[in-house]
Amino acid sequence: MQSQVSDRIRRTSAGFTGIELFWGIFWLGCGIAGALVLAEYVGAIGYPIGFVSGIAVSYGGPRLVIAGLDWWIPEYPPCRCGHSGKSNYKFEGWRHGSQLLTCRNCGRQYLKKVRSFLQVNPDGVARPYLMHRPFGRWQHVSETN
Ligand SMILES: [Zn+2]
């Protein structure tokens, strides 16, 4: 359910075909650049090798960066019970612009905002649990705040 909804949002707001076209031209350009640069050094054999590796680097590079960022700042931080990852949480709906999530392991509920993660107590009161600064990692919010 939740992935269907977010996929639909992503597709309509990102301009799917425009993005694809952009990346296609970008990869092709990197392939051609790789071919020309490598051929300068090793001769004609550099064209196919440089073309393929240029595309591979430009295709894989951004994905590695995204994967690294996701490791550094996971979109879904760990629950208090230690379980983490998107698949650990059940999406219950939206509450005031935040995602209401339930941990599949222990049943704790959280509100997920862009940079903060609030735990919803059984009485319905949400208290800050984790937050992160831009490009910082998730950090515990001290209970006194
Ligand atoms: Zn849990």
Could you tell me how many residues make up the chain?
Answer: 145
Report the separation in Å between the CA atom of 84 and the middle of ligand 1, taken as the mean of its atom positions: 8
Report the separation in Å between the CA atom of 82 and the middle of ligand 1, taken as the mean of its atom positions: 6
> For 56-90, what is each residue's pLDDT tens digit?
999 999 899 988 888 888 889 999 999 988 999 99
Report the separation in Å between the CA atom of 78 and the middle of ligand 1, taken as the mean of its atom positions: 8
Q: What pTM was estimated for this model as a whole?
A: 0.60
Residues contacting 48, CB < 8 A, separation 6+ = 35
Report the separation in Å between the CA atom of 12 and the middle of ligand 1, taken as the mean of its atom positions: 33
125 exposure class (CB count in 10 Å sphere: 0-12, 13-18, 19+): exposed
Report the separation in Å between the CA atom of 83 and the middle of ligand 1, taken as the mean of its atom positions: 6
Every domain of the chain and the residues it spans:
2-72, 86-140
